Structure 1
Amino acid sequence: MSFDVNVRERILRPVDEVFDAVVDPAKLSEYFISSASGPIEEGRRITWSFDDVGTKVEIDVISVKTGKEIVYESSALGHKLRTTITFEPDGADATVVTIKDSSFEMTEDGVKRALGQNAGWTYTLCGLKAYVQFGINLRSGLNKRLTDV
């Protein structure tokens, strides 16, 4: 038996603006990653760097439907995980973004990984919203330790 993780957020910006903030590596680095080897494009393998935790993640982009959906796979959690990001207009000036990770085994380890993904995607969508709506980078200062203050 397996289950999926689903996280969603309504962002007060048009779909094209929100979609662009997800596929453009310069914009993506304002709220999610430290850097990327390239933009999200169908058929590409992209490396995302997360300098704050000292790791890199490779994603294989399965499909991109401009303004509608991005699907990619990654093995960052130790098993193949498929992530689907959908963008739905909610009126002319708002977008509902849904992120779905498929799938997690109904085991103690699977539930632990799913809870981590849920927390991570919730933080990411909050960061996306802060960046796109208000120009705020919530990742600022993540590399600074409390002892450095």
Structure 2
Amino acid sequence: MSVVIETQMLIRKPVAEVFNAFADPEITSKFWFTSSTGPLIENTTVDWYWEKYEVTSSVYVEQLINNELIQMIWGEPKSTVDFIFEKLTVQETYLRIRNYDIPLQGSDLIAFVIEQTGGFTTVLDGCKAYLEYGAQLNLVNDKFPPFVEMGVI
């Protein structure tokens, strides 16, 4: 059985703006990670850093189709994540995040699915708030208080 995790959100902004929010770390850092070693470019690896949690994750950009798809390999264990951007109208984008090729089974797989689903939902919520309203909700930063052990979102 092949497990695919999927989260999605309508974002009321043009597809190019939503796509750029994930490709450009200056924007992504407003709702997801603290900093990055660079923008997302096909066939390159960048490191994302979450300052509060003192966590770094390397992300390999496998495929990048402007305003349509960002496909990356990342995480522990490594899995594939697709950001799929669908233009609905001039001012609306439907964004789906799909996570698959997960090399786990049993209770480890269940825990991974729960963590990733919650994490990517938090990212989508933060992105929507930032792009539509200019609000930096600090959702990822506030997801885990200091006394809770966390995984990378």
Deviation at residue 140 of structure 1 after TM alignment = 7.5
* Distance change in 2, residues 1:83/1:142 (3 Å): closer
Q: 1:122 matched to which residue of 2?
A: 121
Is residue 105 of structure 2 the alignment partner of residue 87 of structure 1?
A: no
Q: 2:72 matched to which residue of 1?
A: 72
Q: 1:91-110 counterparts in 2 under 5 A?
A: 91-104=89-102, 105-110=104-109
- Report the TM-score when normalising by structure 2: 0.88
- Report the TM-score when normalising by structure 1: 0.90
Q: For the aligned residues, what is the CA RMSD?
A: 1.8
In the alignment of these two chains, the number of paired residues is 143
Q: Is the 8 A contact 2:81 2:100 kept in 1?
A: yes
Say which SS state the counterpart of residue 142 (structure 1) adopts: helix
Per-residue CA deviations over 1:95-131 (Å, capped at 9, x if unaligned) read 0000000034441110111110000000000000001
Say which SS state the counterpart of residue 47 (structure 2) adopts: strand
Identity of aligned residues (%): 24
Q: 1:10 matched to which residue of 2?
A: 10
Hey, which bits of structure 1, 4+ residues long, moved more than 2 A? 103-106, 140-143
Q: Is the 8 A contact 2:126 2:139 kept in 1?
A: no
* Distance change in 2, residues 1:19/1:108 (3 Å): same
Distance in 2, matches of 1:22 and 1:139, equals 16
Q: 5+ unaligned residues in a row in structure 1: which ranges?
A: none
Distance in 2, matches of 1:124 and 1:141, equals 7
* Distance change in 2, residues 1:84/1:58 (3 Å): same
Q: Is the 8 A contact 1:68 1:88 kept in 2?
A: yes
Q: 5+ unaligned residues in a row in structure 2: which ranges?
A: 147-153
